[in-house]
Structure 1
């Protein structure tokens, strides 16, 4: 599992570790890892390559300068551009001079960058707030032009101009081909919009582990998902494996019911009960489904409910939402049901509740503009979880899962190809099935999003939402071959 820590946690861990080490040790560790990573991104090695170090006035600039010295020692031609020569890291500058590197000011940066094979962005680091200042923004534009001409741009710890804690990009920021981060991931490296600026991520271990607290953000990996996947045992039957109820679809949107049921059938539960007016369409596609015209209270026993995709907002839809919320089993609320579910009734529920809005739906629930949610996804998913006392899966360019009292989770498998009609219906069914199979709301949301994204990545592009559901068994097996 990838863990990400906030700036304050990183600063405290660094201080505790540095108290046990000779002065400068931590920076030299970071620089050594950075230089090694730079050597790995340059085809053909370091010798004879032209490197430009963009160095700010803080420790981030020091890391970059020390790494530049190491690259110069391996035969690279290194030029350091210091934004403020009087405040640049003195020991880093001295190390670079001893290694044969050149030091210049911002006025000479465009010419140096135009010839560069590698650019190190060491301007602001994790303490930067509020976007880049004008001179640094000019360097960001010049570095982007260098990247377009073939140079590799590597961010030191994180791209300058992005917020390390929130993933916000309040102004101009560097766009890196790769980011080499130290000690732990930073939340902004994993959450859009900042994640789009980071490129490929490389973590350098500098010894912070024993001093770091609980992370602010997590990202599941294959082994984590494999451990959580429900696997039937010898004594299992369809009811012991869990029964998920799906309340979805309408006369106008029968396809939403079909897609949600399709996702549910591939989510690990033993049976799927469908409730709603699209029973003929569901049976026509999935004859194993247990179909009922409703209402949900008369459909039979379930271990979890999914409600909302294509539901509409008529009297029957409202009645269904009320009945499902009254059930003492886990409930996933999506799409139309998000508008119909009373906040206080959700807050009062004792069984787990999982909300699965996209940014527009989250904005409506919080009474803010959609752009605000997209600009600060992490803070808004946490806010929504607190407001509803529920687990929240916020869909989008970065899918996040949050609940109070636990680190938020970010899904690493998403793809922009999932921005297609009906993909959210499949995700709801898949995740609801995992709820019925016994996973917690947080784990079901995380695993559902992981498999959903992985299925999209393994489906030929472009695709329809039904193809995502069809692909889930294959990616399930790739994650857990012995399941």
Structure 2
């Protein structure tokens, strides 16, 4: 499992480690890892041209010490100092002794010319405590680096993005590679900041960190351990039955797609309730279709309600009265009463996209997309329910706090009509098979994203294709 920790936790761990090491040893560890990553990216260090964008403090010190190492291997290294009076003294001395060139950031022409000629630009402007985007003197240099032919490597975190929240509130560096130390920071795993980080390389510097992280990202082995697998004595009822209350005369396809996802999610049977029964049976004859209300559908271990439901508030209300786990999606989010959701004693999972989350929180969509981590936590607290916030990085948060799960297995091709309906059915099936809301949400998102990649394979894809690829994703995880 990949984990990320807050700035406060990282700094506490660094202080504890520095108290046990010789002075400067921790920075040398970081600089060595940074220099190695830069050398690997360049391929050939000797004769290459490297520019260091150096701010004040330890982040700039890491860049300077790494630059000195690369200079000793034959690279031409120029340091552009954005805060000459507050530059890390030891790092600056090391670069000078190695034969590096120093340029003051105030000399804009010399700085710009160095960047234009560079093969590699190292962003050491701001550390993990930075807030509010780049300062006016640094932003033009970040733009030059982005528009140049040089590869851009960020030190610990791209300057201008916020480490704890993943927010980008102004100009920021766009990196091809981020070399981060000790542990991932939340902003490296959560959009919009994740988009600025490029590839991420973690350098182990020996930090001792708490067991409970701020962010968790499941990997194949974690998902494989959670997937429900039938035993020798299993039957369709022991494996779990998921109920789907979805679809309408206007949107029968939503019901078909939700059932498609549910049939591939590990439960033993799917019960469907709603006006799209004929369409569901025509596509999936194994579905148990009921003409009545959810209360009369028969025993289920979990419900999915809302995809394509239109204005069917009665079905949403009936499902929310049940004593089994409930997943609420799409129209169900609009129709569900917040007080009823909060009063439920059985687990509840809400699965909004950014626009639906914005409506539930009473803010703009841009606010949700710009502060995804904050938004998912606020929504979970407001509804007293687990929330899966869909998007380029899917987030799963619980109402009581704790680590937020993040998933980025998906592809932009998943932004297609009906894809969310498949995710709802798949995740609901995992709930019926016995997973808790947090695990079902994060495992469902993982499989759904992976299935999207397999189905698309770099080309446009439809929602039913995604559902059909869940089996391939499941096998890939289990064989991983």
Task: Compute the TM-score of the two structures, normalised by the length of structure 2.
Answer: 0.98
Q: 2:179 corresponds to which residue?
A: 180
Quote the Cα distance in structure 2 between the aligned partners of 1:179 and 1:457: 24
Q: 1:319 corresponds to which residue?
A: 314
Q: How does 1:64-143 map to 2 (within 5 A)?
A: 64-106=63-105, 107=107, 108-143=110-145
Quote the Cα distance in structure 1 between the aligned partners of 2:154 and 2:410: 23
Number of residue pairs aligned between Structure 1 and Structure 2: 474
Quote the Cα distance in structure 1 between the aligned partners of 2:16 and 2:211: 12
Counterpart check, 1:17 vs 2:17: yes
Q: 1:389 corresponds to which residue?
A: 384
Over residues 18-53 of structure 1, what are the superposed CA-to-partner deviations in whole Å (9 max), with x where a residue is unaligned?
11111101100000011111111113x211111111
Q: 1:144 corresponds to which residue?
A: 146
Conserved 8 A contact 1:121-1:155: yes
Residue 213 of structure 1 and its aligned partner are, at CA, apart by 5.5
Conserved 8 A contact 2:46-2:74: yes
Q: 1:262 corresponds to which residue?
A: 260
Aligned mate of 2:356, from 348, 352, 361: 361
- Please state whether the residue corresponding to 2:469 is helix, strand or coil: helix
- Please state whether the residue corresponding to 1:52 is helix, strand or coil: strand
Residue 350 of structure 1 and its aligned partner are, at CA, apart by 1.1
Quote the Cα distance in structure 1 between the aligned partners of 2:190 and 2:353: 15
Conserved 8 A contact 2:377-2:401: no
Quote the Cα distance in structure 2 between the aligned partners of 1:39 and 1:128: 27
Quote the Cα distance in structure 1 between the aligned partners of 2:210 and 2:71: 33
Conserved 8 A contact 1:217-1:409: yes
Conserved 8 A contact 1:17-1:211: no
Q: 1:206 corresponds to which residue?
A: 205
Conserved 8 A contact 1:13-1:212: no
Over residues 107-133 of structure 1, what are the superposed CA-to-partner deviations in whole Å (9 max), with x where a residue is unaligned?
221100111111100000101111111
Change (3 A) 1:433 1:211: closer
Aligned mate of 2:441, from 442, 445, 452: 445
Q: 1:474 corresponds to which residue?
A: 472
Over residues 122-175 of structure 1, what are the superposed CA-to-partner deviations in whole Å (9 max), with x where a residue is unaligned?
0001011111111100111110111xx2x1100000000000011111000000
Aligned mate of 1:407, from 403, 406, 419: 403
Quote the Cα distance in structure 2 between the aligned partners of 1:481 and 1:173: 40
Quote the Cα distance in structure 2 between the aligned partners of 1:440 and 1:38: 42
Conserved 8 A contact 1:269-1:434: yes
Quote the Cα distance in structure 1 between the aligned partners of 2:409 and 2:67: 34
- Please state whether the residue corresponding to 2:380 is helix, strand or coil: helix
Conserved 8 A contact 1:54-1:121: yes
Q: Any gaps of 5 or more consecutive residues in structure 1?
A: none
- Please state whether the residue corresponding to 1:180 is helix, strand or coil: strand
Residue 85 of structure 1 and its aligned partner are, at CA, apart by 1.1
Residue 294 of structure 1 and its aligned partner are, at CA, apart by 2.2
Q: Any gaps of 5 or more consecutive residues in structure 2?
A: none
Quote the Cα distance in structure 1 between the aligned partners of 2:57 and 2:211: 25
Counterpart check, 1:455 vs 2:451: yes
Quote the Cα distance in structure 2 between the aligned partners of 1:78 and 1:200: 23
Residue 214 of structure 1 and its aligned partner are, at CA, apart by 2.1
- Please state whether the residue corresponding to 1:126 is helix, strand or coil: coil
Over residues 355-397 of structure 1, what are the superposed CA-to-partner deviations in whole Å (9 max), with x where a residue is unaligned?
0001111111111111110110000100000011110000112
- Please state whether the residue corresponding to 1:13 is helix, strand or coil: helix
Q: 1:57 corresponds to which residue?
A: 56
Residue 408 of structure 1 and its aligned partner are, at CA, apart by 0.3
Quote the Cα distance in structure 1 between the aligned partners of 2:212 and 2:449: 26
Conserved 8 A contact 2:84-2:104: yes
Aligned mate of 2:325, from 303, 321, 330: 330
- Please state whether the residue corresponding to 2:45 is helix, strand or coil: coil
Q: 2:40 corresponds to which residue?
A: 40
Conserved 8 A contact 1:167-1:188: yes
Provide the alpha-carbon RMSD of the alignment: 1.0
Q: How does 1:162-177 map to 2 (within 5 A)?
A: 162-177=161-176
Conserved 8 A contact 2:392-2:408: no
Q: 1:428 corresponds to which residue?
A: 424
Quote the Cα distance in structure 2 between the aligned partners of 1:213 and 1:120: 32
Over residues 326-350 of structure 1, what are the superposed CA-to-partner deviations in whole Å (9 max), with x where a residue is unaligned?
1110000000111111111111111
Q: 1:288 corresponds to which residue?
A: 286
Q: 1:197 corresponds to which residue?
A: 196
Point out 4+ residue stretches in structure 1 off by more than 3 angstroms: none
